[in-house]
Amino acid sequence: MTELLTVRKLDVRHGKTIAVEQVDLSLAQGSVLALLGANGAGKSSILKAIAGLVDGQGEIIFEARDISRLSARERVRLGIVYVPEGREIVTDLTVDENLTLGGFFLDSRTLGSRRAKMLELFPEIAKHIRAPAWMLSGGEQQMLAIGRALMSAPRLLLLDEPSLGLAPLLIRRVFERLMRIRAESDLSILLVEQSFRMTLRVSDTVCFVRNGQIVGVRKASDLDASSSLAEVLEAYLGAAQPIAMAG
Ligand SMILES: Nc1ncnc2c1ncn2[C@@H]1O[C@H](COP(=O)(O)OP(=O)(O)O)[C@@H](O)[C@H]1O
Ligand SMILES: [Mg+2]
């Protein structure tokens, strides 16, 4: 498989805090890579640096091109779309208007067909197409945030904790949809999650992040046996900072 994204020696600082230190990772086209780690480990900072939303030092190669000096907007144009944790949809706008925002760069014909595709993929939000987004439940808002990001048919989706604040049933639904998107498109996903089991189901590779560094990389299929779970968590994340095992 060809590499879509390669990150080399990425450092991110927030003031004096070193959030990310010498992170290397690569993502093959059409694959899903998950970053797993405790709160404050640096996962969001890695995604935001790739999206160009925070400054980072190091190389970010996307489709064989160094994009590390491009603006966030230019990266969106190349097909890199970030979905922040906490689903920052525009709650004053309707579901439809949120989708349209996500397709900002599209011509009206493509916009129409992408919109229809998103509504087919997320029937939960199709029901509320004219409603303001604040009226949606947490799970529906998450679907809308993902649907909006997918409007522009990105190449790389940077998905930050899609399960945050959702009940287990809804988490399962969001992940089901991600699996469907995976199966039906060539989209690559860099996923940040705390829900270990769900993550294993959708990912090809899992990178464990601790204190701003990647401390382990494993194939998701090698981590399936539940007997090894506790060991892995202990080894990579430390017993003091257990991540969510549920889901
Ligand atoms: N905007 C910011 N200003 C200052 N410190 C930040 C900022 N964002 C993140 N940090 C710090 O950087 C570290 C990594 O944060 P983050 O990337 O959000 O981790 P995660 O997503 O794994 O929870 C933490 O110590 C956090 O407090
Ligand atoms: Mg985060």
Predicted local confidence at residue 41, as pLDDT: 92
Instruction: Give yes or no: residues 103 and 215 share one domain.
Output: no
Domain membership of residue 245 (yes or no) is: yes
Alpha-carbon span 194 to 200, nearest angstrom: 11
Domain membership of residue 3 (yes or no) is: no
Of 102, 104, 77, 103, which is closest to residue 88 (Cα–Cα)?
102
Alpha-carbon span 115 to 120, nearest angstrom: 9
Predicted local confidence at residue 94, as pLDDT: 94
Domain membership of residue 172 (yes or no) is: yes
Predicted local confidence at residue 205, as pLDDT: 94
Residues in the chain: 247
Instruction: Give yes or no: residues 127 and 174 share one domain.
Output: no
Instruction: Give yes or no: residues 164 and 75 share one domain.
Output: yes
Q: Are 136 and 165 in contact (CB under 8 A)?
A: no
Question: What residue numbers bound the domain in which 125 lies?
Answer: 87-149
Ligand 1 centroid distance, CA of 19 (Å): 6
Instruction: Give yes or no: residues 75 and 114 share one domain.
Output: no
Ligand 2 centroid distance, CA of 84 (Å): 8
User: Parallel, antiparallel, or unpaired: how do β-strands 57-62 and 3-14 relate?
Assistant: antiparallel
Q: What DSSP line would sit under 135-179, residue for residue?
A: GS-HHHHHHHHHHHHHTT--SEEEEE-TTTT--HHHHHHHHHHHH
Instruction: Give yes or no: residues 176 and 131 share one domain.
Output: no
* Phi/psi-derived region of residue 125, left when phi > 0, alpha when psi is between -120 and 50, beta in every other case: alpha
Instruction: Give yes or no: residues 202 and 129 share one domain.
Output: no
Domain count, the chain: 2
Q: What DSSP line would sit under 26-82, residue for residue?
A: EEETT-EEEEE--TTSSHHHHHHHHHTSS--EEEEEETTEE-TTS-HHHHHHHTEEE
Of 164, 160, 219, 156, which is closest to residue 192 (Cα–Cα)?
160
Ligand 2 centroid distance, CA of 212 (Å): 12
Nearest CA residue ID for atom 16, ligand 1: 42
Ligand 2 centroid distance, CA of 107 (Å): 33
Nearest CA residue ID for atom 27, ligand 1: 40
Domain membership of residue 199 (yes or no) is: yes
The CA-CA-CA angle for residues 168, 98, 151, to 5°, reads 85
Looking up tokens 């998450």 gives: 142
Domain membership of residue 176 (yes or no) is: yes
Predicted local confidence at residue 37, as pLDDT: 87
Which positions ≥6 away from 167 have C-beta within 8 Å? 138, 139
Nearest CA residue ID for atom 3, ligand 1: 14
Q: Are 7 and 50 in contact (CB under 8 A)?
A: yes
Residues with CB under 6 A from ligand 1: 14-15, 17, 19, 37, 39-45
Of 207, 6, 138, 186, which is closest to residue 146 (Cα–Cα)?
138
Dihedral angle of Cα 98, 103, 107, 111, to the nearest 10 degrees: -70
pLDDT tens digits, one per residue of 11-63: 999 999 999 999 999 999 999 999 988 889 999 999 999 999 999 999 999 99
User: Parallel, antiparallel, or unpaired: how do β-strands 188-193 and 32-36 relate?
Assistant: parallel
Instruction: Give yes or no: residues 158 and 245 share one domain.
Output: yes
- pLDDT-flagged residues of the chain (< 70): 1, 224-247
CATH of the domain at 158: 3.40.50.300
Ligand 1 binding pocket mutation candidate from 11, 12, 14, 191 (most atoms within 8 A of CB): 14
Predicted local confidence at residue 28, as pLDDT: 94
Domain membership of residue 1 (yes or no) is: no
Instruction: Give yes or no: residues 139 and 168 share one domain.
Output: no
